[in-house]
A and B are shown apart, each in its own frame.
Chain A
Amino acid sequence: MKVLILAECDQQKVLPISYELLTRAKALVPEEEIGALLLGAGLPRQEYEKFSSAGVARLIVYESEQLLRFRAEPYSAILQACVAEFKPEIVLGGATSCGRSWLPYAAMKMHAGLTADCTELGIEEKTGLLLQTRPAIGGNIMATIKTPKHRPQMATIRPRSTAAAEPGSWSGGQIELRQPPPAWLESSLQELGFEAVDESRELSAARKVVVVGRGLKRPENLPMVEELAGLLGAALGATREVVDRGWLPYSCQIGLSGRTITPELYLGLGVSGAIQHLAGMQTAKRIVAVNSDPEAQLFSLADLSLVGNMQEVLPVLISELKRGGQI
C-alpha cells in the first residue's frame, strides 16, 4: 500500500470527500497501491462495496459507536496502528473539520510532515516525492511543499477541489471489518449531545452558493435572497460585513477569517470582492456577480457580471426562474 486515504462517513453513507480523496490517490498510484481507512458504525455493507468499487484495493473499516464522531485520541491511535501495519508512503485526508484536527494530531505523534488544505498534488519525477500545492496568505500566493525525509508524507485536501471517483469502475477490492481494542477508545472527551444541521444549507459541501454582501442593505431583504437560494438549490453565504452586522451567523461567513468554499456556482449579490473575501471563494468553478458599482472588484473574477441594483434584479430574476419551472 503506497497511499492511505482517510475516508469519512456518517451513519448512512461514505461521504463525497472520500471519493474525492480516491481521485487524488488514483492520480498518484495504481488502484493496487491504494488503501482506505474508515471509522464509524452502522453503515450498510453496500456502502463499503460501493466505495471499494471506485478503486480501493484494501478498505479497512473500524466499527464502533464510539467512532461515530471525531475524537483525537481514538482516531489517532487507529491511524498510527494502520500506518505501522501498512507503511504507506502517503496519507491523505480531507481538509474538513475532522481531517484538519485528526491529521495534525496524528502527524505530531508520528513525527510526520503535514501540508494543509492542498488544491493540487503531484509526484516529483527525480525523487518520487509528493508535491503538495496549497494557497497561502489568503490565496495571494500558491506554495508547493514537499516532505523529503519523514514518513508518511501527509496532506489534507480541500473538499470539492477535484471530481469524485466513480463507483463500479474497479473490482477486486478487499474489505476488512475490524473492532478497535477498548484501550484505543479511551479519550478525554465525553459526548453530551448532538444537533444535526440541515445539510442543504451546509456551505462546505454545497455545489451552489448564493452569497450576500453589504449591498443587501437591510436584513428585511434576506427573505428574497433565501427564496432565490431555494430556487437554485443553493446554500446561503455572506461576507464579513453581513456577519458583523448580525444579519447572518458566522457559519455563513466566507473568506480569510471564515469558510473556504469551492462550489460549482458562486453567485455574489452586493459583494465588493475584497481580497479577504476572495480568499475564501476564488477557486469556485463559475462566478457570477451582481453589483451596482461597475468598478466592483468581484467583477474582475466573474464569468458573468451584472451591473445593477440587486433589490431590483432579485424580484425579476426570481420570477424568471419560477416561470421556467423547476431547476
Chain B
Amino acid sequence: MKYEVVIGLEVHVQLKTLSKIFCSCSTEFGRPPNANTCPICLGMPGVLPVMNKKVVEYAIKACLATHCEVQTTSRFARKNFFYPDMPKGYQITQFELPIGLNGYINIETDGTPKKIGLTRIHLEEDAGKSIHGENLGRPGRSYVDYNRTGVPLVEIVSEPDLRSPAEAREYLAQLKAILDYAEVSDVNMEEGSLRCDANVSLRPVGQAEFGTRTELKNINSFKFVQKALEYEIERQAKVLNQGDKVVQETRLYDSDKGVTFPMRSKEEAHDYRYFPEPDLVPTVCDAAWIDSIRQSLPEMPEAKRDRFVSAYEIPEYDAGVLITSKALADYFETSVKLLNKPKTVSNWIMGDLLKELKNDDKEIDECPVTPERLTDLLKLIDDGTISGKMAKTVFEDMYQSGKPPAEIVKAKGLTQITDESALAKMVEDVIAANPGQAEDFKNGKDKLMGFFVGQVMQASKGQANPALVNKLIKEKLSS
C-alpha cells in the first residue's frame, strides 16, 4: 500500500525579553538552579500576575512576520493539570482567543515552492525543568529547577500541510530564520529557546480523511526532526501493512537509538478544564499599535534573498545559504562593503568559512575571522601577493590563531614569487632537466604545459605566481 504522509508541527519559541511574562524575574539562561524565581512564578497563594508589555509586542511581531492576523482582543486561560514543574497547578496560556490566526510561511524543497499554513500563534508561560534523581545521585526522587517557569513563549501551530520529513525540516528552518530576523527570539534549539513537537499520520494515497496520528516530543535539533519523522513514518507504515491500527499516543524520540517510543500514558486522559484567567485582563491590540510594530519589522529572509540576487548578482543558491541567519547575511553584506566582489566573498563564506564553523560547531557571531580580516585576505589574492591556494592555508591559520592575514603571510614566508627573472631561471632549469618533454611540446604536444607548470610550482614550493609561470614557459618553448 502506498501512503501519503501528513505532518503538522507545534513549535514553542522563547521570546527574548529580559524579564518573565508575568513577573520581574530574570530570564537569563544558565543561572544557578532556582535563582530566577519569586513568589509569582513559584505560584505562591495570593500573588497576581502582571503582563509584560514587551511580550505582547514580540508576539505581535511574530504574527506579522508570519502573515498571521493579529487579533484585536486576545485573552488568557488556565490550563489545569498537576505536574511538579508547574507550581501553580495550572499553566496560563491562550485558548479560545489567541493573539494570532491564519498565517503562512513559504518553503522550498528540491526547487518546489510551497505555502505552509499556520493555524494559530498563542502566548503562554513556560514550565520549569525536572531532573531525574539519578543525575544528582539520588535515585527514586525528582528535582525541579523553576528558573524557566514563567519565561514567555509563543506556540506556533502549523496546518497539517507538510508532506515529508524534508518539508518539515525546511519549514522549521524557515520559521527559525523568520523569528531570528524579527528579533523576537534567540531561536537556539540547544538552549531550548526553540522546541518542536510533530504530529504525524499516514493515509492511503487518494484518501481524504486523515489517518490516526501520533505526537512526537523531545526533538531538539533540525536533524532529529527529520530523523524522528522518518523513523515514525516507517513504523506506522509497518503497523498499517500488518493490518493493525496506529494507536493515537504521544511518543518520545531517543536520538541515541534513533527510535520513537510511547511515553508512559498518564493514569487518566487529559482533562484540562480550560477557563478564562480571572487574574489577567484582556489584551487589546488596536490598529495603531499593530502598525507601529509593523513599521519596526526589519527586512525578512525572503525579501533579503531577492535583494541579494538582484543587488549583488549572486546565484539564488548562494543567496539562500547566506540568508539562513541574520548574522550570516550581515557578515556577507559587511564584507561586500569592504570588498566589492560579491561572488568571491560568497564563495569564501559558503566554502572555507562555513566549513570551519561547522567543524567547530560554532555560529557565525562566534567566528574568529571578522569581515575585515576575510576581505584583507582576499585583497592579498587580488594584488598578487599570494595565490588562491595559499589563501586557503592562510585562512585556516587566521581561523585558528585570529591573526591578521598579512602577518601570517609574512611569518610563513608565503609571499608569491612574482620576480620575473627569478622565475625565468626556474623555468629554464626545469626545461633543461626535461629535454624530451620540451622537444615534444615544441612539436605540438600542448598537453605538456600542465607538466611544466607543475614542475615549476614544485621547484618554487608552491610560491610561484602561476599566471607568470604559464607566460614564461610559453615564451621559452616557442622560441
Q: Do A and B bind each other?
A: no
